[in-house]
Amino acid sequence: MTPLIVLTLVLMWQCVLVGYTFTLAGNAADEAVRAGTAAAPGGARLAACREAGLGHLSGAWEGDAAVNCSPSGYVTADVSLKVPVLFPGAVPFPVTVHGHAGTVEEVKD
């Protein structure tokens, strides 16, 4: 019975990591878009978007993270994260989680 209980706990923990990775991807995309709309137009906006997206990830998820921003008119950010196996920073699961956010560009006079 003990191996079955341990296996169940391991599977539940892996599900928690998958859910947490989805939460991190969504939050990173939201923060990237927020920073991208507040920055000055042009290259600074793109850099601010990417930096904010990566800045809201812990070291374990930041390594394999990809943040793609589209800063023209309607600012969007797409964040891709790898799900870790059992421990953050360990071997990545062969599943990539995506987060997406977008908002209208702010116009400053």
pTM, 2 dp: 0.81
Distance CA 109, CA 2 (A): 66
Tens of pLDDT, residue by residue over 4-35, are 999 999 999 988 988 988 999 999 998 888 88
Give the per-residue pLDDT at 109.
56
Tokens of 106: 């702010």
pLDDT tens-digit map of 38-91: 776 667 778 888 888 888 787 777 778 888 888 777 888 899 988 888 877 777
Question: Which residues, at least 6 apart from 90, have a Cβ–Cβ distance to it below 8 Å?
Answer: 84
